[in-house]
Amino acid sequence: MHSFSRRIRVVSYHIYLSKRYIASEARQEAFYASLRRGDLSPSLLQWMQHESQETWDRFAGNDFPIIPVITSELPEIGPAGRFYYYWHNDSYYRRPVLSGEPQHLCPADPNLVHLAISPDETQLVRVFQNGSVVINSKEQYWKARAVEFGPYNSLYWIAHDGTVWRSVFDAPAECIYHGPSHPAMSLRRSKGGSAMLLENKSTTWVWQHREDGTISEDVSDTLLVDVHRDGQIVSLQSTTNDAVWNIYEMDLFAKHVVTYQRSYEEERHRIVIQSFEGQEFVSNETMIDPFSKLTPSGNMQYDTDILRFCLEKPYQPPTTYEFNMTNHHLETLARNFAPAFHNMMEERIYATSPDGTQVPITVFSHDKSTIDHVLLVGYGAYEKPAEWSYDPLFHYLLNQGVVVAYANIRNDKILGIQDFIAGAECMQLYGSVTAYGVSAGGVVVGASLQQAPHVFQSGIFVNALLDVEATLRNPDLYLTKEDWEEYGNPELDPSIASYCPVQNVSRGGPPVLVLATLDDDRAPYWNALIYTHKRGTESTHLYMEPSGGHTWNSDRQRMMALQASFVLHSH
C-alpha cells in the first residue's frame, strides 16, 4: 500500500512539473517543438499512462462491453487459378483448387506490410516495416516499401527513397525510376501480365516488356490505368460518360473491364461491366441496394468470367457474391453473421449548408422510439466520403439505440467544416450529437467542435490528424508530401492555420475522447498530446496505447469498449 501511494505522488509530481514547465508561451512552444521531434521524457510518458488509466476507469472500468470482432476467412483464387489462398488462425495458407492438402505459407506478423504472389504461383514475397523482403524463405535487404512480381517472374520494388528497381532472375538489379519521391506511389502488375504500373495521385508510369527482354517506358496523365494482355492501355476515364457517377476502383479480366462507381450526390454504388465485344451491364438496386458499401473482393485470376464483390453495412458484416459476367447469374458465396436486428431504419436525409448546398446524410437507426443520441461520422479528405463499412463498435451502439449517421461532406476543408456543422444541426432532431473523426477526419471534426461547440454534446478522435498545420511543415513525415496535394503547403498557404484544430483550440468545451498510439506513422502521437494539453484535461480525456499503428491493430476490443462507454455515458 505504501509503494502504491508513493507511485501516485510521483505521477502527481510529474504532472505538476509538466504544467509548471509549459506555463509561459515561449516554454509552451519549446515543449510542443520537442514533442514534434519525437521527444518523450519519462515524466511525460508517466503522465500519458496516468491519463489513459484515468480515462479507462472513468468510462469503461472493469465492466466494459464485450464487442465481438467478425473476420472473414474466405479463400481467394490465385493469379494462375491453381490455388486458393486464405488466412486461418493467424497464418496464411493455400490449398490446390482441384485437390490436395492445405499448405502453410507464413505466420501473421504485425510488422508485415505487403504480400505478393508470383504470376505462376511458385513464389511468395513478404515486405516488412524495416524494409526487409523475404522471397519464399530467402531474405533480401533491399530497404523496400513495396514489392511486386512483373512478367516472367521479374521483381520490381519501391525503395524507401522513392526509387524503383527491377531484377530479372539472377541478374544485378537496375534502377528504372529515380524521379521525385512520393509516399503515395503504388506499384502493381497489370492484370494482363504484360506491364508494370507505378502510380501516384496524378501520373502513371507504364513499363511494357519487349520480346528481347528490355522494357519501354510510357507516361500517362491519369491515375487509374491498366494494361490488357495484347498491350492495349485501358483507361478508366473512357469507360463511362456519366458525370454523375465517379469511378473509384476497377478490375480487368481477359474479356471484361469492371468499374466500381459511386454517386456522391445520392451516395449510392453500382457496378458497370464492359466486354471487349462492346456489351455493357449496369447493376440495379436489386443487386446492390442504396445503403450498402460495395468493394471488390480479390479477383486475382485474370482469365475468368467470374467477378467477386462484397456488400456490407455498419451493422452487417461483409457478404461475398460471385457474379457471372457472361450469363449474369448472381450467387451468394459467403456470409458473415452478426446478431440480427429488427426494425432497422435506413434513410437518406439532406442538410442545407450555408451556401445552399444539400449535404447527403446516411442515417442508420434501430427502434426509433428509443433514440436520444447520435454518432455523426465525418471525413471529407482524399476525395473519399465517410464510408459505412461494417464496424463492430457501430453494431453495438445501434443495438443500444444510438443513431449512426454519415455526413457526406465536400472535400474542400472550409466548405467541409460548414457541411459537417450543418449536418450536426440537422441531426439534433434525432438526439444529442457526438462528432466522430478518424485519421484525416480529425481535421474537419476538430474544427467543427471548435467553431460550433453548442451543436455537439461530445466528440471522439481516433488516431486523428489534429495538428495539421505543424504536421505539414515536416517533409520527413510519412504522408506530408502527399498531404501537400490534399491540404496545401503551410509555407505557401496561410489559410491552413485558420482551420487547424490545434492552432485554434481553446480550453473547455464539450467532453472529448482522444485515442492514439505512440507508433502511429500517419498521424503522429503528438497530434493527440498537444491537442489534449491545449484543450485541458478537465474536458479532454486522453487514451494512449504504446503500439497499434494507425489502424490500431492491437487490443481493438479495449479501444472499442472505451468508445462505446464514452458515447453512452459521457453526458
Residue 91: DSSP 8-state: E
Domain locations in the chain as residue ranges? 25-63+341-570
Please measure the distance between the N-terminal and C-terminal CA atoms of the chain and give it in whole angstroms: 34
CA distance 137 to 122: 12
Q: How far apart are CA 270 and CA 284, in angstroms?
A: 7
Give the tens place of pLDDT for each residue, 372-427: 899 999 998 877 777 788 999 999 999 899 999 999 999 888 999 999 999 999 99
The torsion of the CA quartet 119, 122, 126, 132, rounded to 10 degrees, works out to: -110
The pLDDT of residue 16:
45
For 326-348, what is each residue's pLDDT tens digit?
Answer: 999 999 987 777 776 778 899 99
Q: What is the CA radius of gyration of the chain?
A: 25
Segment 258-269, tens digit of pLDDT: 889 888 777 889
At 452, the pLDDT band (50, 70, 90 cuts) reads very high
For position 224, what pLDDT does the model report?
52
Name the packing angle between helices 42-59 and 526-535 (round to 10°). Answer: 70
For 262, phi then psi, to 5°, come to -135, 135
User: What is the CATH superfamily name and number for domain 25-63+341-570?
Assistant: Alpha/Beta hydrolase fold, catalytic domain (3.40.50.1820)
Least confident segment among 16-30, 41-55, 278-292, 302-316: 16-30
At 99-154, the pLDDT tens digits run 889 999 998 887 788 888 888 899 999 988 788 889 888 888 788 888 888 777 68
Angle, CA of 432, 436 and 439, to the nearest 5° = 170
pLDDT score recorded for residue 173 = 83
Cβ-contact 171, 152 below 8 angstroms: no
Contacts of 278 (CB under 8 A, 6+ apart): none
* Whole-number pLDDT of residue 33: 87
Alpha-carbon span 106 to 126, nearest angstrom = 9
CA–CA gap between residue 36 and residue 527 (Å, rounded): 8
**Which pLDDT tens digit goes with each residue over 370-380?**
678 999 999 98
Residue 306 pLDDT greater than 70, yes or no: yes
Does the pLDDT at position 223 exceed 70? no
How far apart, in whole angstroms, are the C-alpha atoms of residue 285 and residue 269? 9
Confidence of residue 17 (pLDDT cuts 50, 70, 90): very low
The grid coordinates listed for 234 are: 485501358
Q: How far apart are alpha carbons 313 and 543 in whole angstroms?
A: 28
pLDDT > 90? residue 540: yes
Q: Which of the given ranges, 67-81, 134-148, 270-284, has the highest pLDDT on average?
A: 270-284
What is the reported pLDDT for 160?
A: 78
Q: Supply the mean pLDDT for the chain.
A: 83
Q: Residues 458-492: pLDDT tens digits? A: 999 999 999 999 989 887 776 777 788 788 889 88
At 214, the pLDDT band (50, 70, 90 cuts) reads: low
pLDDT grade for 550, boundaries at 50, 70 and 90: confident
Please enumerate in sequence order all residues whose Cβ is within 8 A of that of 248, keeping only pairs 6 or more positions apart, or say none: 260, 261, 262
